Amino acid sequence: MLGQEVTETTEKYPLFPSCPNKGQGKSQSTQRVLHQLQRLSRFLLVVYAFLCIGMMALEGYLVYPIPNSTPTSSSNPTIEDIHIVTEDGIKLHGLYFSHPNPQYRILYCHGNGEDVSHNRNFVAKLRDSLQASILLFDYRGYGKSEGAPFEAGLIQDGLAAQTWLAKRTNCLPHDIVLWGRSLGGGIAVAIAQQQGARALILQNTFHDMTEVAASKFPWLPVRWIMRNRFPSIERIQQYQGPLLQCHGTADQVIPYPMGQKLFKAAPSQKKMFLKIVHGGHNDPAPAAFLEALPEFLKTLPERSGDH
């Protein structure tokens, strides 16, 4: 009886009660922390995925910040409102600056935040100073042009504009001087790659659009998801003609080294690079560039039809 009572007492009140396992407590605490970290990681991944999706959805607005202003028709009799129909049926608007005795035919490709109205006065002065007939046109979605912008479409627009100018001035497409500023440089390089050019003039342009975007959004995988890529550094390797390029060292939109990379990749035996010290992206065309321009053009080989 006594043994039985002791046994019962031991079961209810053990002589050596078990102590909490310190290792087990730490393990449970670690598991809770890991669980919280996993939840946080999943949340951050969802947020990051939404940012990537948002970037893809907004890409068109970021690459092509079309001005709100609508260009008015020209009242100047020496500036002609013209329309060009592209291969895919898009109707483009442009301004043609004719010269009675042109020494050069120039196709001007403007930047992504501009339309023909922003460049009209500058191009009119170029026509007179260079003795050139110049076509200034708006890409699809810009100004009075139809459609919506995207890389392949803009290149198609440029090819159609070059062909139009060649027919209008009675020359071949590769007799046209291509001038591109900023985004327009990417278009001009693509035109030169496909249809050739008498010369290529580039202002503050990039070697690769995805690299520009990556420099602005280093925390997003833009090199993987970007659709408008403009790989000018690859395309310019198929252009052998004369090249004049300038870039400002204070360019905050397209950093100066990007312009240098494009120039170094060009295989042309006749090329010139002008370093514009303290020059910004949207500064007016620098004096050094405008002074070098006529001298550069004078050294160009004769047109096909001049032989």
- Provide the pLDDT for residue 152: 98
- Position 220 in a domain: yes
Domain count of the chain? 1
In this prediction, residue 10 carries a pLDDT of 43
Residue 258 pLDDT greater than 70, yes or no: yes
pLDDT at 24: 61
Cβ neighbours of residue 219 under 8 Å, at least 6 residues apart?
none
Q: Quick check: is 227 in a domain? A: yes
pLDDT tens column, 109-122 = 999 999 999 999 99
pLDDT at 35: 79
Residue 103 φ/ψ, nearest 5 degrees:
-90, -20
Q: How confident is the model at residue 57 (pLDDT cuts 50, 70, 90)?
A: confident
Rounded to the nearest integer, the mean pLDDT of the chain is 89
- Is 215 part of any domain? yes
Does the residue 199 lie in any domain?
A: yes
Residue that wins the pLDDT comparison between 11 and 303: 303
Domain span at 135: 79-302
In tens, the pLDDT along 138-169 reads 999 999 999 999 999 999 999 999 999 999 99
DSSP state of 281: T
Distance separating alpha carbons of residues 80 and 77, to the nearest angstrom: 7
Is 7 within a domain?
no
Measure the N-to-C terminal CA separation of the chain; round to a whole number of Å: 131
Three-class SS of 118-143: HHHHHHHHHHHHHCEEEEEECCCCCC
pLDDT value of position 4:
46
pLDDT for 49 beyond 90: no
Band (72; pLDDT cuts 50, 70, 90):
low
Sign of the CA dihedral with 155 first, then 159, 162, and 168 last: negative
In a domain, 10, yes or no: no
Residue 101: inside a domain: yes
Give me the pLDDT at residue 29, please. 84
What is the pLDDT at residue 240? 96
Helices 183-195, 151-168: axis angle to 10 degrees equals 60
Q: pLDDT band at residue 105, thresholds of 50, 70 and 90?
A: very high
Nearest to 191 by CA among 169, 215, 204, 174: 174
Structural domain contains residue 97 = yes
What's 107's domain CATH number? 3.40.50.1820
pLDDT at 172: 98
Is the confidence at residue 9, as pLDDT, over 60? no
Q: What is the mean pLDDT of residues 200-211?
A: 98
